[in-house]
Amino acid sequence: QWNKFLLRLKSAKWIENISPTQQKTLNGYLTGTIDLIISIEQKFYILDYKTNKIGKNNDFYSKISIDKKMQELLYPVQAAIYGVALHKWLKSKLKNYSPELHLGSVCFWFCRGINSDTKGLWVKSLDSDLIIDLENILANNKQNTFLL
């Protein structure tokens, strides 16, 4: 099922090519929790703090450098799983839940880049079609290797 999940993320331009070595590391990959969920005007946003040091100074926190680090550490996969978790949680908590109305975006914040031009931010919209597709992929997992 990881292949379907990764292909869907790739089609949404969240990830690039993942090496076989990286793909092996996905089993048992996520054991963390969402750092913060923010609600603003009926939209919900995920914020995850990263304390990784990308480089020596603010020049290392450019969009390109952050994108490269995100890909290297497979954080877009983590972000997508968090998006599905938020979606499932909102479905269970909000009476009139609508993914199109309530899903905002996911933001990974490399805190050490706060003074850079990017402020250390990587942000992706939680597109309802993508999140629902990923939820279905996870739900159809017969090997029970996903725990959402």
Residue 142 has pLDDT above 70, yes or no: no
User: Looking at residue 32, what is its pLDDT?
Assistant: 74
**103-110 β-sheet, strand order:** 36-40, 43-50, 103-110, 121-125
* pLDDT, the chain, mean: 88
- Give just the sign of the alpha carbon dihedral 126, 135, 75, 10: negative
pLDDT in tens, 9-61: 889 998 887 766 666 666 655 667 899 999 999 999 999 999 989 999 999 99
User: Looking at residue 143, what is its pLDDT?
Assistant: 56
**Annotated catalytic residue: which of 48, 117, 129, 133?**
48
Residue 64 in tokens: 């390109």
Instruction: Mark whether 59 is an active-site residue.
Output: no
* Confidence label for 4 from pLDDT (cuts 50, 70 and 90): confident
Q: Which residues contact 28 (CB under 8 A, 6 or more apart)?
A: none
Contact 148, 88 (CB under 8 A): yes
pLDDT in tens, 57-76: 999 999 999 999 999 888 99
pLDDT, greater one: 74 or 112: 112
Q: Report percent pLDDT > 70 for the chain.
A: 85
